[in-house]
Amino acid sequence: MLFGLDGVEIGLIIVFVCLFGGILSGFPVAFAIGGAGIISFGIIAALDSAGLLIHQAIDQSSAAYRDLVNSGVKADAISIFRYPDLPRVAESVFPQGWEVAMDRNVSFIVNRMNERVLAGQSIETLLAVLMFVLMGITLERSKIANDLLTTMARVFGPLPGGLAVSIVVVGAFLAASTGIVGATVVTMGLLALPTMLRNNYSPEIATGVIAASGTLGQIIPPSIVIVLLGTLAGDLYSAAQEQRAQLAGCTDALSYLGKPAVLSVGTLFQAALLPGILLALLYALYAFVYALLNPEKAPAVPMGASNSEPITRREGFTWFLGVPMLMVVGTILLGNVGVVGSQNMTVSSFSDIEKGASLRTNVSEDCKASMIELHGQSKWDTAVAQQQEIDAAGGLHASERLSPEALQEAIDAKVANAAPIGTGTAILLILAGLILTTARGVAPSRDKRPLVVGAIGAVLVLLVDILLIGPRTSSGVYVLLMAVPFAALLYGCYHGAISCAKNELIRVVFPPLVLIVAVLGSILGGITNPTPAAALGAGGAIMLAAYRKLTDTDRSPKVIIWSTLAILVCILVGVNFDLRINIEGVSFESWVAFFVAYAAYLYALFGLLFSCWILFTAGVLSPIVRETAKVTSMVFTILIGSQILNLVVISFGGEHYIQMFLKSFDNEITVFLLVMLVLFLLGFVLDFLEIIYIVIPIVGPVIYGGTFDPKWVTIMIAVNLQTSFLTPPFGFALFYLRGVAPKEVTTGHIYRGIVPFVLIQVAGLGILWFFPSIVTIVPDLIPN
């Protein structure tokens, strides 16, 4: 044994030395990873051929090993770490020769590229990376950060540490809209850092809050980290739980767990929402407390008055908090008592599929014992009783086509249980009410008559919906009855929108906020998966950037505005009308709705193409596309290179060696804490992409093969990986900020300033550890 180390251990050392050497050499990381894999394989193969790498494996032909297996211990659970006294046998790290290992690696790399990059199930999800990058770079080039920083500084500046708090708010906002860490840190460093220093802010607090806030895009959805990590974690979790089920004596994970072993990126977006907000709040709280304790290092800074009307505290409380809360809470209460609810009369032509028992009971004795240990005796007894009832009834009955009488009976039951006010109408009225109340609050001196007309229209909409519209009312009749009330409501909302547009805060925040709500809302609400939502965000970002370019050059943005309204028309018509024209008996109103929706779609498409043309002629679109191609190519090249490196580690038994070491611990908590510590330390020298694609595939089968909730495990990893942007010496956010910081700001200032925020990251991990419901509550409330 060379240096007294096992051959596999030496192989792992060689791999990581080659990897770190390639990264530190200054060679592009995307190519250094694949190169490190090829070079390390060559070195290991040469040493193995020379007989210098000897692996001390367990002698599976020994009597002690056979006795252990006969005692009931699974062969997969036997390792040199758990049973160090078992007889050993010396063998090379490539038992069949390095040529066979290389041939297998070449075959595997082709298969993995086909599965994970070219044509596998995850390719659709990985396309979201391209769309989110395009969305982020487009919004960054539209100078949204400039307006946000100026506006938020005026709002928070007069508070102690107000400029630092405003940086956190803008960082969280940009995280939800762009998610590009480098662009966010550079932009805020260029715009905010000189202002903070001129106003006597300490260089440490100024650089620390800018670097930390810029990394919020790694955890606040839509996050590229979560897309990449979630795509990998879903496969790891499914495979690990299948292996766990087989070790428990069951045939599959569905039988053992009682539910599918599935983890989607959309679910992870839901899980990451509150942890991201938590970190932003912790950053802002630290900045505020720091300013209170050190007022001379983070003073209050009045940034000048805005062009908005002065608003009294009473008016602000009434119109910005009191009335909106009354509307929302009132609607929720009405929904609980059945006044507001669904009026959908759609009934399936087939009977419902009968539900089986909560757990599968036709399993082996070993699987039964394992399931009782996992779920508890009471749940098992309940499942047995359910299955007995099903068997007594003749088993589960397949879905059958309903007779005309049964179908009509089902429709009548839905009509009888329908709410007087439809959910769609209630939501529409809340949105319109928010426009009216906000307009009243931001412009107290403006003419209130249009807003009163809008409020009267809202009341008429309610009355017409309750008195004249029922569940059987057709969409065409609904439009006719609501024409006058909606006209009054839209009249008030139109004038309200004009008033809101004159308020600086609303004018700056509202457009990107709508885009964020549209993208995240469609994902978090389970309406669609991340890829279509990312495409929506990319298209919206292009239109928003074109709108900004037109207004900056004093040209009319009406085409963009009307295109946005056309999209709303498409949505409203699609929700309220049956647009299927390829079925028999299409009604006249459905044909009219189809052509209206189609015309709106064509105009929206024209608006998107017009936006692209505006950005292209302004010289903005080409750099956006070029930068998007660079970032996306880097991500996918790192993915390919990491697969090569990962296969090298597998080929000489390195992955199995590490997994056996982790499995040797009896306590699952100890294993997870050890992995988290390793990831934290690797964050000092590796970027998040290298950690995701090199380290996670090795440790993932262990940490995802236990009892921990996979959503919680993944978000804990994501928050941990966020520190890789902040930890010196290779924290990318520190490099970005160092490149744009003034000369008087030293590297020492940046390093000292980031230390409290790294500790806040660790504190955030601790909070998520002790309160895991912060991660799981949103996915539990909004199941996909």
Contact call for residues 658 and 688 (beta carbons, < 8 A): no
% the chain with pLDDT above 70: 93
DSSP label at residue 216: G
Give tens-digit pLDDT for 333-350: 888 888 888 777 777 776
- CA 101 – CA 265 distance, rounded (Å): 34
Within a domain: 686: no
DSSP label at residue 695: I
Say how many domains are in the chain. Answer: 1
Within a domain: 334: no
Alpha helix positions (H), 142-264: 144-156, 162-177, 181-198, 203-214, 224-247, 253-257
Per-residue confidence band for 351, with pLDDT thresholds at 50, 70 and 90: low
Average pLDDT over residues 317-343: 85
Look at residue 572 and tell me whether its pLDDT is greater than 70: yes
Within a domain: 297: yes
Look at residue 240 and tell me whether its pLDDT is greater than 80: yes
- CA 542 – CA 621 distance, rounded (Å): 9
Count Cβ atoms below 10 Å from residue 682 Cβ, excluding itself. 20
Give tens-digit pLDDT for 610-657: 999 999 999 889 998 998 888 888 878 887 888 888 888 888 888 888
Of 212, 173, 204, nearest in space to 762 by CA: 212
pLDDT at 703: 93
Q: Which residue has the tokens 């397949």?
A: 398
Per-residue confidence band for 509, with pLDDT thresholds at 50, 70 and 90: confident
Q: Which residues contact 23 (CB under 8 A, 6 or more apart)?
A: 29, 32, 685, 686, 690
Angle between helix 144-156 and 162-177 (nearest 10): 150
Within a domain: 252: yes
Per-residue confidence band for 96, with pLDDT thresholds at 50, 70 and 90: confident
Range of the domain at 298: 146-305+722-774
Look at residue 3 and tell me whether its pLDDT is greater than 80: no
- CA 489 – CA 482 distance, rounded (Å): 10
- Cα dist. 532→92, 121, 138, 535, 536 in Å? 50, 15, 17, 5, 6
Within a domain: 12: no
- Cα dist. 614→55, 140, 197 in Å? 64, 17, 37
Give just the sign of the alpha carbon dihedral 586, 590, 594, 596.
positive
Range name among 255-264, 347-356, 360-369, 605-614 with the lowest pLDDT average: 347-356
- Cα dist. 412→288, 465, 475, 478 in Å? 59, 20, 19, 20
Average pLDDT over residues 345-362: 75
Average pLDDT over residues 123-148: 78
Per-residue confidence band for 737, with pLDDT thresholds at 50, 70 and 90: confident
Look at residue 307 and tell me whether its pLDDT is greater than 90: no
Give tens-digit pLDDT for 661-677: 888 888 889 999 999 99
- CA 159 – CA 166 distance, rounded (Å): 10
- Cα dist. 718→122, 219, 711 in Å? 19, 7, 11
Of 24, 28, 19, 16, nearest in space to 635 by CA: 28
Please state whether the peptide bond connecting residue 222 to the residue before it is cis, i.e. omega within 30 degrees of 0.
Answer: yes
- CA 667 – CA 663 distance, rounded (Å): 9
pLDDT at 666: 80
Average pLDDT over residues 211-238: 86
Look at residue 116 and tell me whether its pLDDT is greater than 70: no
pLDDT at 355: 75
pLDDT at 222: 80
The better pLDDT of the pair 255, 585 is held by: 255
Within a domain: 480: no
Within a domain: 57: no
Contact call for residues 280 and 757 (beta carbons, < 8 A): no
Please state whether the peptide bond connecting residue 729 to the residue before it is cis, i.e. omega within 30 degrees of 0.
Answer: yes
Give just the sign of the alpha carbon dihedral 306, 312, 315, 316.
positive
Look at residue 772 and tell me whether its pLDDT is greater than 90: yes
Contact call for residues 650 and 599 (beta carbons, < 8 A): no
Range name among 117-126, 266-275, 330-339 with the lowest pLDDT average: 117-126
- CA 175 – CA 223 distance, rounded (Å): 8
Of 543, 576, 574, nearest in space to 561 by CA: 543
Q: Which of 64-78, 92-106, 620-634 has the highest mean pLDDT?
A: 620-634
Of 770, 750, 704, nearest in space to 253 by CA: 704
- The model's pTM: 0.84
- Cα dist. 581→460, 574, 578, 603 in Å? 33, 13, 8, 21
Within a domain: 161: yes
